[in-house]
Chain A
Amino acid sequence: MKIEDRLSLLNYKTDKSYEHITINPSICETCPDHFCTFACPAKCYSLIEEKLNFKYEDCVECGTCDVACSHGSVAWNNTKGGHGVKYKYG
């Protein structure tokens, strides 16, 4: 099963006005490993034409990327006001 199909099973209340995780593109540009693309279990980080692309909408709020990024690019905050992922089972 593809990760995209697995993510499509999830319910999100997406916060359109607030991105709870932001990255610093200038740091990512020179990143030697892009470990985030391997570690993030929701494939929020991917390389598109060698440029790091990040989407917060699919995030399951595990916090992995904040540990994974050893270059200081990731700024991690909790989602606000009940936004974000909503599990059925957990």
Chain B
Amino acid sequence: MSEFDVIIVGAGPAGASAAIKLAGAGSSVLLVERGDPPGSKNVSGGVLWGDSLGSVAPDWEKAAPMERYVEAKGVSFLTKDSKISIDFRSKKLQERRSGYTVLRTKLDGWLSKKAKDAGAMVASGITVDKLAFKDDRVIGVEQDGDIITSDIVILAEGANPRVAINSGIRERLKDRDVAIGVKEIIKLPEKTINERFNLTSSKMGFASEYVLGFLEGGVKAGGFIYTNKESISLGLVISMKEMRQNNNTRSFDLIEQFKEHPYIAPLIDGGRVDEYSAHMVQEGGLKSVPQLYGNGFMVVGDGAGFSFSNGMVLQGMNYAIASGIAAAESAIKAKIKSNFTMEGLSSYEERLKSSFVLQDLMNFKGIEEVTWSDMIHRGIPNMSEELFLSLFSENGQPKAHMINLLIRAMGHSDVPRKDMVINMYRMLRRM
């Protein structure tokens, strides 16, 4: 007889959502979190997209500590001197409120409390070392030589999955699996944020991703700026593979280059940096998804490689929550049948496959090659800069037709025309 029905390792959005769902269904749940208090080790960009939380906390929009809902969503290409942007604002986006900026210490603290209120036992400040096995079956977790037993363990340990690696159920991460994320929280008065980002109330927020084609040393990175109530989350996601090939740029220096860009600096002018953080970002797509379940265990969230990035959006928490809930539902089903083997937990993968979690990863297979391509990072920014300079500046010369301008601009892209065409085709196909 096990001490718990389910032990969940990690109290981020994935683990806490699983705990709320399971405890709510009457399972005995232990939610183990190494941070104390829960949330204090967790980092996101972060925008929580979608309504995944609705199924474990129907009142989340009112009750959860959200910062601002995303009223304005941008995508920008930055060159050394220019910014080429889509700044999408819509009353329809406002009505849907499909994304909220969040700060994870607050959100995760709230979710853990929800899990506790639902009846889960929350143990914070405790580090699980590895899974405990009997024969080929997981029977619980091991911490400092002690074993706590459960019928099922759900691993929700995030982007740096030490327990899974230490337990031999997944390989160590490789360059292709992750990017390096660095971020600052920059304090600014609420009113200043509203003015600078053209937001008409403090409930409305701005979220934008940036392709940084101008970084010294040519390393490829994406930037982001999200507005919180009284601060800005500004950060970079740097490709590990690119960093290694480059080997002359330091990850912690790049954020300064982003902040000093002529069209970024005014947004944060006078702001005070209040926190610096770093976190790995899952970037490998389907190729990086490990074994998702086995005898007595399931893997959810970042630890399972669930995230989505196509250069225009960057999402993770919604996949974390949805996968946590899927694992909880599968655990409930397994309990009814008293079958905790791999076969008994196989409905987990089926659930993921019928939801956006695995469908997105399957439908956008290979997108990471486009996201980090020369075309995105140099081709499009340089070409657009040249094109718009031709279009929008006046030098007293006869005007050329658009197609001629475009062909000429392609010559300025630093990327061979043939590669541009091939990559453009790939991108359209994969998007």
Chain A residues within 8 Å of B177, by CB: 67
Chain B residues within 8 Å of A77, by CB: 162, 166
Please measure, in the bound complex, the distance between the C-alpha atom of A76 and the C-alpha atom of B51, giving whole angstroms.
36
Chain B residues within 8 Å of A81, by CB: 125-127
B116-133 vs A, CB cutoff 8 Å, 1 = contact: the mask equals 000000001111010000
Within 8 A of B (CB), among A11-50: 33, 35, 37-43
A43→B41 contact, CB < 8 A: no
Nearest-neighbor residue (CB-CB) of A67 within chain B: B173
Chain A binder among B16-24, B73-81, B250-258, B350-358: B250-258
B231 CB to nearest chain A CB (Å) = 7
Q: Which of B105, B244, B251, B273 contacts A6 (CB 8 A)?
A: B273
Please measure, in the bound complex, the distance between the C-alpha atom of A1 and the C-alpha atom of B177, giving whole angstroms.
30
Q: Tally A residues with Cβ within 8 Å of B.
A: 37
Within 8 A of A (CB), among B79-135: 103-106, 108, 124-127, 129
Q: Which of A33, A84, A90 contacts B277 (CB 8 A)?
A: A90
Please measure, in the bound complex, the distance between the C-alpha atom of A90 and the C-alpha atom of B317, giving whole angstroms.
13
Please measure, in the bound complex, the distance between the C-alpha atom of A32 and the C-alpha atom of B43, giving whole angstroms.
32
A90→B247 contact, CB < 8 A: no
Q: Is A68 an interface residue (CB 8 A)?
A: yes
Within 8 A of B (CB), among A37-77: 37-43, 60-64, 66-68, 76-77
Q: Is B71 an interface residue (CB 8 A)?
A: no
A35→B182 contact, CB < 8 A: no
Chain B residues within 8 Å of A80, by CB: 34, 127, 144
B42→A67 contact, CB < 8 A: no
Chain A residues within 8 Å of B175, by CB: 67
B35→A41 contact, CB < 8 A: no
A44 CB to nearest chain B CB (Å) = 10
Q: Tally B residues with Cβ within 8 Å of A.
A: 56
B276→A7 contact, CB < 8 A: yes
Within 8 A of A (CB), among B45-70: none
B367-406 vs A, CB cutoff 8 Å, 1 = contact: the mask equals 0000000000000000000000000000000000000000
B274-292 vs A, CB cutoff 8 Å, 1 = contact: the mask equals 1111111000000000000
Known: A38-B251, A61-B41, A90-B42. A6 touches B184 (CB 8 A): yes
Q: Is B240 an interface residue (CB 8 A)?
A: yes
A79 CB to nearest chain B CB (Å) = 7
Chain A residues within 8 Å of B274, by CB: 9, 88-89
Known: A84-B41, A86-B40. A67 touches B34 (CB 8 A): no
Chain B residues within 8 Å of A76, by CB: 162
Known: A38-B250, A43-B252, A87-B42. A82 touches B275 (CB 8 A): no
A67→B178 contact, CB < 8 A: yes
Q: Is B249 an interface residue (CB 8 A)?
A: yes
Q: Is B180 an interface residue (CB 8 A)?
A: yes
A38→B34 contact, CB < 8 A: no
Known: A6-B252, A35-B247, A64-B180. A79 touches B104 (CB 8 A): no
Chain B residues within 8 Å of A87, by CB: 39-43, 104-105, 275, 277
B307 CB to nearest chain A CB (Å) = 15
A89→B275 contact, CB < 8 A: yes
A90 CB to nearest chain B CB (Å) = 3
Nearest-neighbor residue (CB-CB) of B249 within chain A: A38
Within 8 A of A (CB), among B158-193: 159-160, 162, 166, 172-175, 177-178, 180-182, 184-185
B39→A62 contact, CB < 8 A: no
A52 CB to nearest chain B CB (Å) = 15
B275→A10 contact, CB < 8 A: yes
Please measure, in the bound complex, the distance between the C-alpha atom of A87 and the C-alpha atom of B40, giving whole angstroms.
5
Nearest-neighbor residue (CB-CB) of A6 within chain B: B276
A77 CB to nearest chain B CB (Å) = 7
B136 CB to nearest chain A CB (Å) = 25
Nearest-neighbor residue (CB-CB) of B39 within chain A: A90
Q: Is B3 an interface residue (CB 8 A)?
A: no
Please measure, in the bound complex, the distance between the C-alpha atom of A43 and the C-alpha atom of B278, giving whole angstroms.
11
B103→A90 contact, CB < 8 A: yes
A4 CB to nearest chain B CB (Å) = 10
Can you give 5 contacting A-B residue pairs, CB < 8 Å? A41-B278, A64-B280, A67-B178, A67-B240, A86-B35
A residues within 8 Å of B by Cβ? 1, 3, 6-7, 9-10, 33, 35, 37-43, 60-64, 66-68, 76-82, 84-90
Q: A41-B278, A90-B105 are in contact. List 16 more A-B contacts (CB 8 A).
A: A39-B251, A42-B252, A43-B252, A62-B278, A77-B162, A78-B162, A79-B34, A85-B41, A86-B40, A86-B41, A87-B39, A87-B42, A89-B185, A89-B277, A90-B108, A90-B277
Nearest 3 CB-CB pairs, A to B? A82-B125, A63-B160, A82-B36
